[in-house]
Amino acid sequence: MVVKIKRAFDFKASDAKIPLLSNGASDPYVSVGWAKFGKPLYSTRVLVDEMEPWWQEGTCLLVAPEELDAEENIRVQLWDSDKTTADDDLGRIEIPLKELMKNSKSNGKLWDRTDTFQAMKAGETMPGKLEWSVGYFTKTRLMDYHVAHASGDKNIRTVTQLKQKCYQNSKAKLREAAHSEASELEQLKKEDFEAASINMISQSPPDSNYPSGIVSIQIHQITSLELERHNRPRDPDVSDSEDQEDEGSDHLPDSYCTLILNHREVFRTRTKPKNAKPFFNAATERYIPDWRAAEVMVAVRDARVHEDDALLGIVYLPLAKLFRERQTSQFNEFWPLTGGIGYGRVRISVVFRSVQMQAPPQELGWDFGTVEIAPGTSIVGNEIQKDLKSDRLKFRTNMARGKMHAVTHHSFSHPHGNGSKDSADDAQWKPKNNRPIRLPVKNRYKQPLVIEFRTKSALKDKTPAFALLWLHAIPDNEAQEIELVVWDGDLKRAQVNCLPGTEMGKKVGMIRIKVTFWRGIGKYHAKYARKGDSIANVVEVLYCAKDQGLVDCVVGDSEWIRRRCEGRLATGQEIDNGNTDDDDSDDSEYDVTEGGRRAAVRQDVGSDSEAAEGVKEVQRRDTENSGGGVMDELKSYMNHHHQLHRRHRGVMQFKAPRTLKWAEHKVENVAHKLTDKFKHKEREPDIETEV
């Protein structure tokens, strides 16, 4: 069930009007879920002090037999967000699920609607209306594509041929059973064809023409789960699990699994205490916009007391590669744990089914990613005022910011010799290091890239003009050259109201930028992650996968630099991926980016001389670290301490340092929770758990 929230209007102001201080408004957001189930399954962003909100956000709800049996209604509800008290209900809209499934306006297409809000009490109305869209999309039926891939009979290549074969077999079965009733024959035909259809679909890889669908992931069990033991002699004939059982259950792990889908933690199993052979049988189903780019990671952790939950190991499952290699849409296999402090094998089953929906490329992207703005932002035409051409540009997302400075170009005579000056390129903006700005992003489909013209002032720098690029308008991993309107208006309202085609003040010109959204969490996300939160957990797993060689080489690694210089990468990016803003210039310990992981085709913005200098630097460091002195050992330890500490080596092999680190993170999390108490929060649910 696809739901897209556009805008709400004419609803009541929940916050009271205070003379000389406040005109009275609301902080609206919309939640989506099932009416009888009650729990919100999705929430838009909160727009503060806004009575004309325009969200342009959406979600997909999975329709299971439970919803049909309960005769559920889909509920779309408007709320007023409050920081310290319960949110106020501003109205709701409920529509029976079965009605949307059967209606020709919403079956297989989006139905644009405008509905009046209803009160909590049935029959009563609330002021205000909502513009939104809703559509129901079924799973794909059996197609000639599936039959051609899965049929072992050369004479059966289409659905029609398969039907004929099934009907012939059904008649033969009835003749052998001495039955000839027409009703039984039709029932048997239907059952045989349905069984054959399911078999054909499961034995075929997903169809690229229908990239969106539902993935079901089940974690069954872990076998031979062991902890790596340090500083003790090892008998190769005795396993760690047998040693641990002999010594008692105190040395067995308290294991649980977390499921990461497209770099977002989505599911966590229950903890199985003191068990070397835990059975989980935990499953979840999720909508994925594009199976061709989907990644699944399973992290197994040890829930130790007074410690950060250590990684026992991970499993990395790139769905496109696995479906292609196995030529099937489902698999059930054992996978070894790697990269952590434990050993073992996890049995995981994955099933994917496409849905009959073909969304545009920009709607098939990931929520997490990195925005890359190439150097050389330029003016389109000659409308921008002269004083703006000398301002610096500030680029910012919901996580970070970067800067470009004006570069003066001398105007040149028009080629036709008419004496006019070509001023289209007489002003450009570039970073100081002339390298792209890269900014981390989360919840990409809710956020714009804000570009501010910043003018220096005695007290505080001013923003006389701005431009916006809504990130839901661009596809993943594709360089886009985009022209943006520069406005002189209300920036605060412009960046919270995604109202297409609406003027945001006075138009003062246009600029041209070259931007790319690289999907996935990278090294720029790591510096904003708090230990224990979902982003930090994902970064740790990605770093582990990189060290184990489960993903491609990472941009900035010495191996990537060498491959770049040798020409084995068709295109690439410069070696140093640092941001240009002073606050964001330091590199993170986790150097993981989508472009490096996939060695994706990128714009060639780095030069061979830069790459050569990078190789020399790597060789110099290798030479410096090749000695055997104490300082060399210390340098080597500092360069690799993250890997060592993750595997409980070095200083972290002892309990006391791990407990101190856990206490430090606890204090940080408590401080963040206290500050978060005074912020607006959406009602979107947290990570799904079995607890």
CATH number at residue 304: 2.60.40.150
Residue 388 lies in a domain: yes
Residue 681 lies in a domain: no
**What is the C-alpha separation between 620 and 372, in angstroms, rounded?**
30
pLDDT of residue 196: 83
Same domain? 372 vs 503: yes
Same domain? 251 vs 352: yes
The pLDDT > 90 percentage for the chain reads 41
**What is the C-alpha separation between 99 and 118, in angstroms, rounded?**
18
* End-of-domain residue from the set 77, 105, 135: 135
What Å distances lie between residue 482 and 443, 515, 572, 637, CA to CA? 21, 8, 21, 46
**What is the C-alpha separation between 558 and 614, in angstroms, rounded?**
8
Residue 33 near residue 40, CB atoms below 8 Å: yes
More confident residue, 268 or 415: 268
Q: Tell me the chain's radius of gyration from C-alpha atoms.
A: 29
What Å distances lie between residue 78 and 60, 278, 556, CA to CA? 18, 43, 46
Same domain? 223 vs 354: yes
Residue 390 has pLDDT above 80, yes or no: yes
Residue 668 lies in a domain: no
Residue 284 lies in a domain: yes
Same domain? 291 vs 306: yes
More confident residue, 664 or 624: 664
- Please state the rounded mean pLDDT for residues 7-32: 78
Residue 220 has pLDDT above 50, yes or no: yes
- Please state the rounded mean pLDDT for residues 140-168: 82
pLDDT bracket for residue 626 (50, 70, 90)? low
Cα angle vertex 138, ends 165, 5, to 5°? Answer: 170
Domain span at residue 319 reads: 213-359
Residue 229 has pLDDT above 50, yes or no: yes
pLDDT of residue 349: 97
* End-of-domain residue from the set 135, 164, 184: 135
Token pair belonging to 425: 């390129």
Residue 596 lies in a domain: yes
Same domain? 351 vs 218: yes
pLDDT of residue 351: 96
**What is the C-alpha separation between 439 and 431, in angstroms, rounded?**
13
The pLDDT > 70 percentage for the chain reads 78
pLDDT of residue 553: 45
Q: Return the number of other C-beta atoms located less than 10 Å from residue 450's C-beta.
A: 19
Same domain? 385 vs 497: yes
Residue 178 lies in a domain: yes
Nearest to 238 by CA among 249, 224, 251: 224
Segment 169-209, tens digit of pLDDT: 877 777 666 555 677 777 888 888 888 888 888 888 999 99
What is the number of alpha carbons within 13 Å of residue 121 lying toward its C-beta?
1
Contacts of 392 (CB under 8 A, 6+ apart): 403, 404, 405, 406, 429, 453, 454
| Extended beta strands in 145-278, E state | 213-227, 255-261, 264-268
- Bridge partners of 438? 372
Residue 590 near residue 539, CB atoms below 8 Å: yes
Q: At 116, which helix (H) or strand (E)?
A: strand 111-118
- Please state the rounded mean pLDDT for residues 456-460: 82
Candidate ranges 290-299, 540-549, 653-662; pick with highest mean pLDDT? 290-299
- Is the four-CA dihedral 205, 209, 210, 211 of positive or negative sign? positive
DSSP, res 671: H
pLDDT of residue 346: 97
Same domain? 513 vs 566: no
Segment 49-65, tens digit of pLDDT: 888 899 999 999 999 99
Cα angle vertex 374, ends 369, 377, to 5°? Answer: 125
pLDDT bracket for residue 393 (50, 70, 90)? very high
Q: Where are the alpha helices (DSSP H) in 500-590?
A: 523-526, 534-547, 558-565
pLDDT of residue 202: 86
Same domain? 315 vs 225: yes
Residue 30 has pLDDT above 70, yes or no: yes
Q: What are phi and psi of 323, to 5 degrees?
A: -65, -40
- Please state the rounded mean pLDDT for residues 301-310: 86
Mean of all residue pLDDT scores within the chain? 80
Same domain? 247 vs 335: yes
Residue 297 lies in a domain: yes
Segment 116-150, tens digit of pLDDT: 999 888 778 889 999 999 999 999 988 888 888 87
**Range scoring the smallest mean pLDDT among 226-240, 313-327, 434-448:** 226-240
Same domain? 112 vs 251: no
Torsion of CA 381, 384, 389, 391, to 10 degrees: -140
Segment 584-609, tens digit of pLDDT: 333 333 334 433 333 333 333 333 44
* End-of-domain residue from the set 500, 519, 538: 519
pLDDT of residue 100: 94
**What is the C-alpha separation between 197 and 143, in angstroms, rounded?**
9
Q: Give the number of domains in the chain.
A: 5
Same domain? 375 vs 512: yes
Residue 489 lies in a domain: yes
- Please give the model's pTM, rounded to 2 decimal places: 0.82
**What is the C-alpha separation between 681 and 186, in angstroms, rounded?**
55
338-339 and 88-96 beta bridge pairing: unpaired
Same domain? 452 vs 560: no
pLDDT of residue 108: 92
- Please state the rounded mean pLDDT for residues 533-553: 81
Residue 295 has pLDDT above 50, yes or no: yes
**What is the C-alpha separation between 41 and 35, in angstroms, rounded?**
11
pLDDT bracket for residue 650 (50, 70, 90)? confident
Spatial strand order of the sheet with 28-34 comes to 40-43, 28-34, 73-80, 88-96, 111-118, 125-135, 2-9, 54-60
